[in-house]
Homo-oligomer: A and B are copies of this chain.
Amino acid sequence: MDRARVEAFSDGVLAVAITLLVLDLPNAVPGGDSLADQWLTSWPAFAAYAVSFLVIGVIWLNHHAVFRDISRVDRTLLVLNLLLLLFVTTIPFSARSLATYLLVGGADARLAAVTYGLVIEGVALSFTAVCVWAWRQRLFHAHVTAIQARSAIVRFGGGSIVILGAVGAALISAPLSLAIHGGLALFYAFDQPRRPSASS
């Protein structure tokens, strides 16, 4: 089954990206402030870490749910999947930038927060494109109905609109924007996509 290798490569990229986030946690240095003070001062790094872990985790959950229903892949689907992975691998970079500038405030914090949001928006739009393409080219399993496919597309399309809201919020407050991303990821984590078929 051709699908297996797309999943294996995507799993690899998602696993590396989610684990690389840890490199952005602060390396405390003895001699100056106490460890507790250093950690408290760098709370944005921990917040960006937790939210980004959740976001990539949810991307994996959704990737898993979408590709489970795909029976075959074509070159375009693979390229769209690569585009999705490009945005995913950029998350550790934009998370680090956001953590660095969150407390600095001003135009820099806004730019960092907008960038972080646009990267996640890129993931959501790539997901929508994967679903639309798979449906049009009949790449889904035969048991996937039009209602299910439309529901998945609406789901990701809807998510991308909420993410745009978080990008807008970034213009007002970078921490608020980060909180919206975290909340949205939590919602997706626990929201079950409807699946009539018995096989989970």
Contacts and interface: CB of A to CB of B under 8 A. Distances in A.
A122 B142 CA distance: 42
Contacts of A89: 18-19, 21-22, 53
Interface in A12-68: 12-23, 25, 27-30, 34-36, 50, 53, 57, 60-61, 64, 68
B101 A35 contact: yes
A90 interface: yes
A43 to B, nearest CB: 14
Interface of A: 2, 5-9, 11-23, 25, 27-30, 34-36, 50, 53, 57, 60-61, 64, 68, 72-76, 78-79, 82, 85-86, 89-90, 92-93, 96-97, 100-101, 104, 107-108, 111-112, 189-190, 192, 199-200
